[in-house]
Amino acid sequence: MSRAMSRTAAAVAALVLAFGAATAPRAQESAPPPPPMKAGDGLFPFVLPWDDASPGVVDVSGLLPRPAGKAGTIRVEGGHFYAGRDRIRFLGVNLCFGADFPTHEAAEKVAARMARFGINCVRFHHMDTSVAPDGLVKADRKTLDPERLDRLDYLIARLKERGIYANLNLHVGRKYPDRPDWPGAPGYFKGVDNFDAAMIRDQKDYAVALLRHVNPYTKAAYADEPAVAIVEINNENALFNEWSGDGLEAMTDPYSSDLQRRWNAFLTSKYKTDAAMRKAWSVREVPRGREMLKNGSFGRGDEGWAFEQHSGKARHEVAGGRLTLTVEEPAEQSWHIQFNQPGLHLKADTPYTLRFRARASEPVRLALNAMQAHAPWKPLWNVQQELTTEWKDVELVFRAAEADENGRVTFSGVGDKKVALEVDDVSLAPGGVMGLRHGEALGKIPWFRHREFGVRTPEAQADWIRFLWELEDEYWSGMSRFVKEGLGVKCVVIGTQMGWSPAPVQARLDAIDSHSYWQHPHFPRRPWDENDWTIENIPMAGRPDGGTLPRLGLSRVVGKPFLCTEYNHAAPNTYGAEGALLLAAYAARQDWDAIFLFAYSHRGGDDWGPGKITSFFDIDQHPAKMATLPAAAAIFLRGDVPRAAKTAIARPKPADWIEAGRLRGAWGLGGEAFGLTTQQALTHYVGVALDDAAPARSPDLDEPGAFAWTPGPDAKTGRVTIDARRSKALIGSTKAGPARLGEVTIDAKSNRQDWAAITLTAIDGPDFRSPGRILLTATGDAGNVGMKWRDAARTTLGRDWGDGPSLVEGIPADVTLPAPAAKVSAWPLDERGRRRGDAPLKVEAAGDGCRISIGPGSKTLWYEIEVAR
């Protein structure tokens, strides 16, 4: 998620982490943190110059036709992007805030360097969030700043020359200065600006100012510019997500009354009479059944309740029939300290009433959920409840998304702060009031707040979901028409991302987009507190659950282009070199159309060359991440990894989508809701079809082992291998022995983490036997001089990112190729990707082929291998 991640999105991210985690308490870390990083012990300085576009084996700019747009505007045909008669894919990056506006001199160099690494699209993100100089708008947040606009124009012109397209975001973080706020409102009015007419007018005014502006350096308005590939309407922003994440619970007028007016107009149009609505809604009361909890009154101490502590320190006690949970040392994640009652037999779509009394020593947001009490710990219902220092009686009616013989009810969400939580009189029983409340009738139905959603009948709930989706469709389709018909934009227009808005709504536009992050930083107390955050420092390659990739794959709508416009394995994760490679290979396997790393840079002030890793997301000065990009470009842009041959397509009916939205919320609408599995997402071409006419695609000729996902016995020993004709890779644990990839073998040796990402790319030859040049990259741990971890598990630095230069690990490995040793030469490359001619590598005969050994002594991340004629 981007820096402007909303409160709702952050809560969803925390829930995803919680539900995917093991529930056994983790042993407390007692080892001291490592000393500050310094050169030596396998680490050496390695800085990739920010302004370097040297020719050589690492230069893959030849994959980019020049100039961008020379074949005409990007269009959609057959579910993919096309430039003229040829299909086109995008390997992109994001620029954010002040980085959107480099000086003219810097723009020339940035564009050249991006092209060299195979980047062929830039997503211009957060241009509207700040005022100039870090943003495009003046202090009034309406008028474009001419000096910033000139810098943007010049950069886009230089990118165009290099074959790099633009993705223009219309609304990301710009506030609406004339609209009233309320305490706790979603950031940037997310969700609200999908239906508030004044905010929508403001969005249109901004679109007019930007898209009708003529770039003096290209002589074209952005609406007509063929080098603008994509226009995105509103980033990570949708009414359905904000509602289902409790972001609108306290919404005040004029927005609340407007939403209620629209809701009642929808019902009146559909039912005409109160009697018809009551009949359709099956208004009734389901009698309360038998108590399901054991010892809900705590009369027998904590019997029947399970207490978990994954980090931090907490204690609990029961006195006077009341449970007190005291967090003495805050945990890394809010869910790391919790209590629950397992062993509950939950039926699907059956009303349950949860009651309890609670208070806290300070205001908190208590997370309540029903979930599986066993792997894979799937969530079945969740909601958040505000508590204060005063006792509060809480009554919530809910339905489980699916049946489970061993479910549990969990009290969570307070573990990341020093707080005392008191709870008593907990009760759970089937049944509850369903339908209408006293005084409610057609024309007088309040809009359904998420916390109270459970008291409505399934029929009423389904109507509410239809209403939200119709309201969203009115906004997204309306904005798309305005941009295309009103402003004449000719390129691809997308709305927002999966997980925020449902696929049936977003599929009305040109393409489907999604975002994902592996180990996004978690901020336990204050959002974006740079001194108070954690990551879980583990690799993703070979995880049994597939990490981020299955959710992305299962978000795909068959027959529509698919993009992932934000992706990263956030620094300082020491396995981050895997990110671009795994995404590129998976995207190629799934036949996606665009992937974007988040981000190239956030830094304003023309700070392009600090020579060190600067933040969670910026990759431009991260040597291990940048060094992998040429290989990723070959895998994805060149199409080295073929599409998966096996196909698994879900084909839900329209009513199935409504049911899934009713029971699962915004983040439960992927292919898993309709019968697809995580395992299928790792082995098959997967997606969801919206109608029977959506093509399943005849399988292409597959290459066995082209993308092999192999779990290991623990979280750090999985691996992924790529075995394609022009690309080979070993990504993951080095403990499992050599990777035999056709005629190539990669035998990685023990290193700092017993983990590596090693790639071989045939740059200009057809394979690894024929004459040509081969790029070999070997990446692992990376950091900065003086980078200071605060714990032995290396989960946080606070602000101690260290100083330049960046430090990297030299990976030891033996690489065996099928070409005879007499025809093979190899060199380590310097930081500009040039041969170190005074230090060629030894090439030894190995059977009919040859063996090349690499290691830390070469002090490099990349090597050139040449096979002579």
SS (H, E, C) 461-491: HHHHHHHHHHHHHHHHHHHHHHHHHHCCCCC
| 517 and 14 Cβ atoms separated by less than 8 Å | no
pLDDT at 694: 59
The residues that bridge with 835 in the sheet, in sequence order, are: 829
The position carrying tokens 């564009």 is 111
Length of the chain: 869
**Band of the pLDDT at 697, cuts 50, 70, 90?**
low
pLDDT digits (tens, 9 = 90+) for 820-857: 999 999 999 999 999 998 889 999 999 999 999 999 99
**pLDDT-derived band of residue 695, with 50, 70 and 90 as boundaries?**
low
The secondary structure element, H or E, covering residue 656 is: helix 654-664
Cβ atoms of 575 and 524 closer than 8 Å = no
pLDDT at 17: 35
Phi-psi region of 3 (alpha: psi -120 to 50; beta: other; left: phi over 0): alpha
- Cβ proximity of 640 and 678 under 8 Å: no
E-only strand ranges, 376-472: 379-387, 392-399, 404-412, 419-430, 432-434
CB contact at 8 A, 164 and 70: no
| Residue 23 in this model has a pLDDT that exceeds 80 | no
* Comparison of pLDDT for 427 and 5, the residue scoring more: 427
Provide the 8-state DSSP code for 791. S
pLDDT at 435 over 80: no
Contacts of 197 (CB under 8 A, 6+ apart): none
* Alpha-carbon distances of 257 from 100, 197, 604, rounded to whole Å: 39, 13, 41
What dihedral angle (degrees, nearest 10) is formed by the CA atoms of 429, 434, 439, 441?
170
Report d(CA 417, CA 759) in Å as an integer.
43
Cβ-proximal residues to 143 (8 Å cutoff; 6+ apart), any chain: 137, 209
C-alpha neighbours within 13 Å on the C-beta side of residue 292:
22
Q: Which value, in Å, is the radius of gyration of the alpha carbons in the chain? A: 28
- Tokens 């590939």, residue located: 229
46-79: burial string, b at 16+ Cβ within 10 Å, e else: bbbebeebeebbbbbbebbeebbbeeebbbbeeb
Q: Phi and psi at residue 215, in whole multiples of 5°?
A: -75, 115
Residue scoring higher pLDDT (703 or 164): 164
Tens digit of each residue's pLDDT (9 = 90 or more) over 629-683:
999 999 999 999 999 999 999 999 999 999 999 999 999 999 999 999 999 999 9
What does the pLDDT average to over 540-564? Answer: 96
* Distance (Å, whole) CA 537 – CA 539: 7
Do 301 and 318 contact (CB within 8 A), yes or no?
A: yes
C-alpha to C-alpha distance for 748 and 744, rounded to whole angstroms: 13
- Between 524 and 324, the more confident residue is 324
Q: What is the pLDDT of residues 117-159, one digit of tens each?
A: 999 999 999 999 999 999 999 999 999 999 999 999 999 999 9
In three-state form (DSSP H/G/I as H, E/B as E, the rest C), the secondary structure along 112-160 is HHHHHCCCCEEEEECCCCCECCCCCECCCCCCECHHHHHHHHHHHHHHH
Tell me: the pLDDT tens digits for 235-289?
999 999 999 999 999 999 999 999 999 999 999 999 999 999 999 998 877 788 9
Least confident piece of the model among 71-80, 430-439, 814-823: 430-439
Question: Given this model, what pLDDT does residue 283 score?
Answer: 81
Q: Of 483, 477, 562, 494, which is closest to residue 230 (Cα–Cα)?
A: 494
Please state, in angstroms and rounded to a whole number, the distance separating the CA atoms of residues 145 and 124: 16
Which residue's entry shows tokens 């993100």? Answer: 125
| Alpha helices, DSSP H, located in 783-847 | none
- pLDDT at 195 (0 to 100): 98
Residue identified by tokens 């994640």 is 333
With a pLDDT cut of 70, the percent of the chain lying above it is 95
Residue 19 has pLDDT above 50, yes or no: no
Whole-number mean pLDDT of the chain? Answer: 93
Residue 454 pLDDT class (50, 70, 90 cuts): confident
| pLDDT of 4 over the 70 cut | no
Element (H, E) at 648: strand 647-650
* Cβ contacts of 326 within 8 Å, gap of 6 or more: 314, 315, 316, 317, 419, 420, 421
**Angle of CA points 629, 635, 636, to nearest 5°:** 90
Structure tokens at 756: 């590596």
What is the Cα–Cα distance from 495 to 501, expressed in whole angstroms? 9
- pTM comes to 0.89
User: What's the pLDDT tens digit per position in 60-76?
Assistant: 999 999 999 999 999 99
Better pLDDT: 82 or 32? 82
Q: What domains appear along the chain, each with residue ranges and CATH number?
A: 7-247+474-527+559-643 (3.20.20.80), 306-367+381-434 (2.60.120.260), 708-867 (2.60.220)
Q: Residue 637, class by beta-carbon neighbours within 10 Å (0-12 exposed, 13-18 middle, 19+ buried)? A: buried
Q: How far apart are CA 504 and CA 492, in angstroms?
A: 18
Burial degree of 212 (CB within 10 A; 0-12, 13-18, 19+): middle
At residue 526, the pLDDT reads 87
Distance of CA 355 to the CA centre of its chain: 35
Q: Is the pLDDT score of 773 beyond 70?
A: yes
Vertex 609, ends 607 and 615: CA angle to 5°?
A: 70
Instruction: Give residue 30's pLDDT band: very low, low, confident or very high (50, 70, 90).
Output: low
Per-residue three-class SS string for 241-304: HHHHCCCCCCCCCCHHHHHHHHHHHHHHHHHCCHHHHHHHCCCEEECCCCCCCCCCCCCCCCCC
According to DSSP, the β-strands at 594-601 and 562-569 are parallel
Q: How many CB atoms lie within 10 A of CB 147?
A: 10
Q: State yes or no: pLDDT of 412 exceeds 50.
A: yes
Where does the pLDDT of residue 13 fall: very low under 50, low under 70, confident under 90, or very high at 90 and above? very low
What pLDDT does residue 28 have?
Answer: 44
Q: Cα separation of 358 and 214, whole Å?
A: 60
Q: How many CB atoms lie within 10 A of CB 569?
A: 26
Structure tokens at 29: 């870390």
Q: List 358's β-bridge partners, or say none.
A: 392, 423
Residue with tokens 């800085």: 47
